[in-house]
């Protein structure tokens, strides 16, 4: 009778149990793979098409729960059946929470095993096509700022208080938190929204050009100055200039900027006259300017001139309530941009997004949503997420293994690699079959 198409991976550190499971599964015409450790199992999963995982929970080194978590996120289509000789309510709950579909306690009958295997394979279809869930929430939407956390509510409250005056604002926060979005909200929600908003990334302009770009220059002021030109400050007059990455500004620019703040006027490079300005200055940085002042790399008087109103934009990891509404907003935005029907993210994928620490903040989330919309056809599931978001592969700590355990693990890996052909394994290990048999006992 021909083998069925399903491939079943069995993981147990007990060789007798592996043999019993393999014998039963083969009698039902399944093709089987065997592994005696989580690391072996992971190697098989990487290179073999597996339709069902059967794993023990209690194993030396890395336990079965870690394997279930790994498989649940990297191979979400594979159903998982847990077997254990140490039954407990807590163990069962942990296994199910981690993604196991069924749970068998040793010793179990052949009939119980068959029923559990059949049930797990039937449920596989449900796992392949998970129920879609819309990303909906009662969230705040304010000038492009989206969220539902108290931190976002407090941020918007500060913006409301400063938007209609020209007080200088310093926005601080990690890269990718949305500092420019806050600056734009202050400008476009305020009384001067009809006037220019000029954004300048101080870190993106070469140091020798930044001064000229900011303040302008007159013809002949330096080599290459073939005409008189206004700078960004003149262009922003009556509106707002946003100086991003202000901590990168060189000393000469800091000195000139201090004069602008003190005198409310700007002088082009090479000019003898100054021009009065009426504008708001908003600066932003992901650096700690206070520490830079202490080190002498940022002017103390400029720091206090800039820091009239201080706005801290919290990192995304500190306001996880905002992840779902931000994701929903980005889904709408990029679905329209790429001419795709509005997509939905399934529940498990959302759980992973909520769990991630987001070192790149909102910018990182935006890049991921954009990529998933491009690569997906209809809904977004775990398989569409970048690998680095998923549960990391568990690793053995070899330094904590005894020589006996290390030898055992190596022999098991070699046996698994040659489909438990003892003659081939003995050749690879450079020992005779008798010695191998003794070690296996």
Which range among 16-25, 65-74, 136-145, 170-179 shows the weakest confidence by mean pLDDT? 136-145
Q: Note whether 336 and 312 are same-domain residues.
A: no
Final residue belonging to a domain, choices 130, 163, 182: 130
166 & 223 share domain: yes
| 312 in the same domain as 163 | yes
- Residue 200's nearest CA partner among 215, 188, 221 is 215
The tokens of 264 are what? 């409310």
Alpha-helix residue ranges (DSSP H) falling in 28-88: 38-47, 64-74
Residue 273 sits at φ, ψ, to 5 deg, of -120, 155
Q: Examine the domain organization and report whether 245 and 293 are in the same domain.
A: yes
Residues 308 and 333 in one domain: no
More reliable by pLDDT, 365 or 14: 365
The domain that holds 357 is classified in CATH as 1.10.8.60
Does one domain contain both 164 and 243? yes
236-250, 307-321, 327-341: range with lowest mean pLDDT: 327-341
Query: Whole-number mean pLDDT of the chain?
Result: 86
Indicate if 165 and 293 belong to the same structural domain.
yes
User: Does the pLDDT value for residue 188 go beyond 80?
Assistant: yes
Q: Which of 130, 159, 191 is the last residue of a domain?
A: 130
CB-neighbour burial class of residue 314 (10 A; exposed 0-12, middle 13-18, buried 19+):
middle
Q: What is the CATH number of the domain that holds 31?
A: 3.40.50.2300
Q: Which domain holds residue 154?
A: 150-316
Q: What angle do CA 377, 120, 43 make, to 5 degrees?
A: 75
Per-residue confidence (pLDDT) for residue 416, from 0 to 100: 65
- Number of domains, the chain: 4
Residue 99 within any structural domain of the chain:
yes
The last residue of a domain, from among 316, 338, 367: 316
Nearest to 285 by CA among 313, 260, 262: 313
CATH of the domain at 403: 1.10.10.60
Please write the tens of the pLDDT for every residue from 56-98.
888 877 888 889 889 888 888 888 888 877 655 455 556 566 6
Q: Is the pLDDT of residue 208 over 90?
A: no
pLDDT of amino acid 290: 93
What is the pTM assigned to this prediction?
0.72
Q: What is d(CA 370, CA 223) in angstroms, rounded to the nearest whole number? A: 44
391 in a domain, yes or no? no
Domain shared by 53 and 101, yes or no? yes
User: Higher pLDDT residue, 3 or 102?
Assistant: 102
pLDDT of residue 1: 46
Does residue 296 lie within any of the structural domains?
yes
Which CATH number covers residue 218? Answer: 3.40.50.300
| Residue 389 covered by a domain | no
Are residues 32 and 115 both part of a single domain? yes
Q: Is residue 140 part of a domain?
A: no
Q: Does 196 share its domain with 283?
A: yes
pLDDT given at position 121 = 85
Instruction: Confirm whether 144 is domain-assigned.
Output: no
Reported as a pLDDT band with limits 50, 70 and 90, residue 129 is very low
Q: Pull the structure tokens for residue 289.
A: 């300017």
Length of the chain: 441
Question: Is the pLDDT confidence value at 175 over 60?
Answer: yes
d(CA 140, CA 147): 5
Distances (CA, A) of 292 to 211, 242, 299, 304: 21, 20, 8, 13
Give me 189's structure tokens: 């929600």
Residue 201 lies in a domain: yes
Q: Are residues 212 and 286 in the same domain?
A: yes
Residue 137 maps to a domain: no
30 in Cβ contact with 73 (< 8 Å): no
* Pair 97, 180 in one domain: no
């Amino acid at each position: 009778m021909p083998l069925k198409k399903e491939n079943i991976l069995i993981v147990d550190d007990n060789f007798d149990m592996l043999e019993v499971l393999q014998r039963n599964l083969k009698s039902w015409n399944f093709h089987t793979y065997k592994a005696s450790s989580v690391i072996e199992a992971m190697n098989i999963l990487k290179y073999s098409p597996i339709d069902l995982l059967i794993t023990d929970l209690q194993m030396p080194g890395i336990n079965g729960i870690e394997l279930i978590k790994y498989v649940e996120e990297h191979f979400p289509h594979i159903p998982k059946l847990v077997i254990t000789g140490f039954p407990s309510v807590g163990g069962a709950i942990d296994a199910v929470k981690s993604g196991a579909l069924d749970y068998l306690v040793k010793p179990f009958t052949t009939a119980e095993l068959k029923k559990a295997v059949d049930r797990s394979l039937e449920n596989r279809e449900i796992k392949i096509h998970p129920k879609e869930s819309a990303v909906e929430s009662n969230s705040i939407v304010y000038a492009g700022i989206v969220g539902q956390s108290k931190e976002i509510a407090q941020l918007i409250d500060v913006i409301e208080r400063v938007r209609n005056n020209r007080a200088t604002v310093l926005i601080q926060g990690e890269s990718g938190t949305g500092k420019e979005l806050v600056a734009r909200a202050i400008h476009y929600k305020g009384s001067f929204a009809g006037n220019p908003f000029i954004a300048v990334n101080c870190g993106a302009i070469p140091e020798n050009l930044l001064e000229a770009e900011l303040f302008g220059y007159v013809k002949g002021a330096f080599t290459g100055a073939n005409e008189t030109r206004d700078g960004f400050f003149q262009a922003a007059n009556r509106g707002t200039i946003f100086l991003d990455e202000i901590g990168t500004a060189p000393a000469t620019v800091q000195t000139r900027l201090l004069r602008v703040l003190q005198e409310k006027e700007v002088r082009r490079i090479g000019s003898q006259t100054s021009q009065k300005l009426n504008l708001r200055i908003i600066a932003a940085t992901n650096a700690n300017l206070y520490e830079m002042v202490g080190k002498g790399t940022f002017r103390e008087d400029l720091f206090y001139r800039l820091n009239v109103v201080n706005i801290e934009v919290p990192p995304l990891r500190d306001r996880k309530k905002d992840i779902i509404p931000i994701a929903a907003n980005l889904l709408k935005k990029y679905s329209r941009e790429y001419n795709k029907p509005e997509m939905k993210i399934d529940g498990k994928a959302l759980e992973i997004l909520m769990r991630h620490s987001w070192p790149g903040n909102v910018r990182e989330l935006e890049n991921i949503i954009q990529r998933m919309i491009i690569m997906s056809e209809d809904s977004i599931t775990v398989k569409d997420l970048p690998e680095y978001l998923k549960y990391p592969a568990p690793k053995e700590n070899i330094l904590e293994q005894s020589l006996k355990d290390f030898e055992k693990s190596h022999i098991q890996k070699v046996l698994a690699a040659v489909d438990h052909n003892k003659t081939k394994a003995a050749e690879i290990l450079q020992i005779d079959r008798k010695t191998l048999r003794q070690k296996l006992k």
